[in-house]
C-alpha cells in the first residue's frame, strides 16, 4: 500500500476498516472539547461502554440477593472466573483448561515461580532480558534470595549489542546454550515494555526446553496485542495483566496460562487455597486439598467478581472480533503511524529515530533527538496522550480497537505544528 499524508487518505482507510464501528464503543477523555488521540493503550486501555452494564449487573445482584448471589445470580459469583477461560484461550493460543484468572500480574508470577522455579545445586540459573520491567526484576531477585541464592550468581541477563536498541534472537539463543545444564528457568517479557520489541517466543522456548529448562513469559504487553500460540509452542507457564490491550480497567485481574502437562497433578508444589480445590467437595470443608483438574488448581481465594466483570465485558468484544482481525488492522495502523513520523521529520528537518524493530506489536518507541520533554508536554496539552520514558523516548501505542487512521494524521499535524513553533 502506498500511503499518503492527507486527511482524505486517512479517512478512506477508516471507511474501509472493519473495526471502525468499535471506536464508538469506547469512552474517550476529552481535551478542549475534543476526543483525545490516545496512544497509551500499552499502559491503560480505554473503557468499553458496555463495561458499566457488567458491573451494574453484579451491583444489582448484590443489592437484591446478597449472599445468594454466589449461586443464584444469572452469572453466579462462585464460578464467575470460569467464563473468562474460553475467550482468553483464543487470545493467547491455549486450551481453555490451561487458563485461569486471579490476583494481579506480579503476584501470579510469584505464585508460578513456586511451581516452576525449583533450583538445585547444579541447575539454578534464570535468564531474563537486560533492564526487564522493574517489577519482574524485583520478583526474580526476591525469588532467588528466598531460595538462599545470590542474584549476581543466579540471574543471567541478555544484553543488547553495543550501539543497538533491540535484542538479537541469536544472542538470546547463544546465551541459553552457554548457560546450558545450569539453566533452571527462562522468564522474559514477551514484548519489551520500553522498545516494543516482540521476542521470538517460539524459538526461545524451543531452545530453552532442549536445555532442560522451564520457560515462562510475562505477557503484560503481549496479551491482546500480538499473535500468541502458548500451547503449540510448549510454553510451561505465562501470566499477563488485563488493563493494557485487554481494556479491563486499572490494576485489574491477571490471566494465567499453565501447560496442560502440569494439570491434575498432586506432586507439583504450589501455594494452595480454598478456590483451587475441587468444586464438588469444596463446601464439604475437608482438610485435604484436592486440586481442580485445570489451571484453577492455582486459584487461592474466591474470585473478585467486581474486578472480573470489566474483563468479561472486554473479552466479549475480543470474541466478536477475533485476534486475526485485530492484528491485521494493527499492522497497517502502526505502519501508517511510522510513515507519518517519517513525513513530518522530512517536513520539519527533525530527527526521529524509531527504536522498535520490525518484530513489533502496537507500539513504536521514538527517540526524539534534539527534542526535549517540552514536546511531550505540548502534545499532552493538545490532547495527544503519549508516554514519556527517560532520557528522551516517546512511546506511541495505537490500539486497533479504538484508534483510527485519522488519529495518525491528526497527530502528525500537531507534531509538525509543535516542532515548527517550538512548542
Burial of 351 (0-12, 13-18, 19+ CB in 10 A): exposed
Give residue 269's pLDDT.
95
Confidence of residue 369 (pLDDT cuts 50, 70, 90): confident
What is the rounded average pLDDT for all residues in the chain? 96
* The pLDDT of residue 260 is above 70: yes
* Tens digit of each residue's pLDDT (9 = 90 or more) over 136-174: 999 999 999 999 999 999 999 999 999 999 999 999 999
* The pLDDT of residue 390 is above 90: no
* Tens digit of each residue's pLDDT (9 = 90 or more) over 214-249: 999 999 999 999 999 999 999 999 999 999 999 999
Domain 53-321 has CATH 1.10.150.20: no
Instruction: DSSP letter for 336, please.
Output: H
Q: Do domains 7-48+323-420 and 53-321 have the same CATH topology?
A: no
Fold (CATH) for 7-48+323-420: 3.90.1150
* Tens digit of each residue's pLDDT (9 = 90 or more) over 286-308: 999 999 999 999 999 999 999 99
Q: What percent of the chain has pLDDT over 90?
A: 94
Q: What is the mean pLDDT of residues 201-225?
A: 98
Lowest mean pLDDT among 48-52, 72-76, 253-257, 388-392: 388-392
* The pLDDT of residue 392 is above 90: no
Interatomic CA distance for residues 249 and 310, integer angstroms: 7
Contacts (Cβ under 8 Å, ≥6 apart) of 169: 199, 200, 203, 204
pTM of the complete model: 0.96
Domain parsing of the chain, residue ranges: 7-48+323-420, 53-321
Question: Which grid cell sits at 184?
Answer: 533452571
Interatomic CA distance for residues 104 and 96, integer angstroms: 20
* Tens digit of each residue's pLDDT (9 = 90 or more) over 397-411: 999 999 999 999 999
Lowest mean pLDDT among 87-91, 285-289, 329-333, 397-401: 285-289
Per the DSSP assignment, residues forming a β-bridge with 174 are none
Confidence of residue 423 (pLDDT cuts 50, 70, 90): low
Amino acid at each position: 500500500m502506498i500511503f499518503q499524508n492527507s486527511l482524505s487518505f486517512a479517512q478512506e482507510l477508516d471507511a474501509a476498516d472493519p473495526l471502525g464501528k468499535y471506536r464508538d464503543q469506547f469512552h474517550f477523555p476529552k481535551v478542549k472539547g475534543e476526543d483525545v488521540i490516545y496512544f497509551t493503550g500499552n499502559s491503560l486501555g480505554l473503557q468499553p461502554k458496555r463495561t458499566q452494564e457488567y458491573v451494574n449487573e453484579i451491583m444489582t445482584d448484590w443489592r437484591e440477593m446478597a449472599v445468594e448471589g454466589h449461586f443464584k445470580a444469572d452469572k453466579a459469583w462462585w464460578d464467575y472466573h470460569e467464563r473468562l477461560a474460553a475467550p482468553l484461550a483464543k487470545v493467547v493460543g491455549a486450551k481453555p483448561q490451561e487458563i485461569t484468572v486471579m490476583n494481579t500480574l506480579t503476584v501470579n508470577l510469584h505464585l508460578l515461580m513456586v511451581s516452576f522455579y525449583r533450583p538445585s545445586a547444579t541447575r539454578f540459573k534464570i535468564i531474563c532480558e537486560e533492564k526487564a520491567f522493574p517489577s519482574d526484576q524485583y520478583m526474580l531477585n526476591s525469588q532467588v534470595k528466598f531460595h538462599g541464592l545470590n542474584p549476581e550468581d543466579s540471574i543471567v541477563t541478555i544484553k543488547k549489542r553495543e550501539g543497538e536498541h533491540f535484542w538479537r534472537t541469536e544472542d538470546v539463543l547463544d546465551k541459553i546454550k552457554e548457560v546450558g545444564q545450569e539453566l533452571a528457568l527462562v522468564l522474559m517479557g514477551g514484548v519489551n515494555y520500553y522498545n516494543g520489541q516482540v521476542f521470538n517466543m517460539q524459538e526461545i522456548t524451543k531452545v530453552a526446553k532442549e536445555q532442560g529448562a522451564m520457560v515462562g513469559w510475562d505477557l503484560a504487553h503481549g496479551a491482546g496485542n500480538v499473535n500468541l500460540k502458548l500451547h503449540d509452542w510448549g510454553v510451561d507457564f505465562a501470566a499477563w495483566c488485563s488493563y493494557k490491550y485487554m481494556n479491563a480497567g486499572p490494576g485489574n485481574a491477571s490471566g494465567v496460562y499453565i501447560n496442560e502437562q502440569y494439570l491434575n497433578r498432586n506432586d507439583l508444589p504450589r501455594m494452595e487455597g480454598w478456590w483451587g480445590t475441587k468444586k464438588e467437595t469444596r463446601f464439604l470443608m475437608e482438610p485435604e486439598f484436592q486440586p481442580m483438574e485445570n489451571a484453577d488448581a492455582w486459584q487461592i481465594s474466591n474470585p473478585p467478581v467486581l474486578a472480573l466483570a470489566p474483563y468479561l465485558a472486554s473479552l466479549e468484544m475480543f470474541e466478536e472480533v477475533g485476534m486475526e482481525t485485530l492484528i491485521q488492522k494493527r499492522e497497517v495502523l502502526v505502519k501508517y503511524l511510522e510513515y507519518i513520523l517519517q513525513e513530518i521529520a522530512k517536513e520539519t528537518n527533525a530527527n526521529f529515530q524509531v527504536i522498535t524493530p520490525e518484530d513489533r506489536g502496537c507500539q513504536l518507541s521514538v527517540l526524539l533527538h534534539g527534542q526535549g520533554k517540552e514536546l511531550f508536554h505540548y502534545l499532552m496539552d493538545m490532547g495527544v496522550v503519549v508516554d514519556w520514558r527517560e532520557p528522551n523516548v516517546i512511546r506511541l501505542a495505537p490500539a486497533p480497537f479504538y484508534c483510527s487512521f485519522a488519529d495518525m494524521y491528526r497527530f502528525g499535524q500537531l507534531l509538525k505544528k509543535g516542532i515548527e513553533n517550538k512548542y
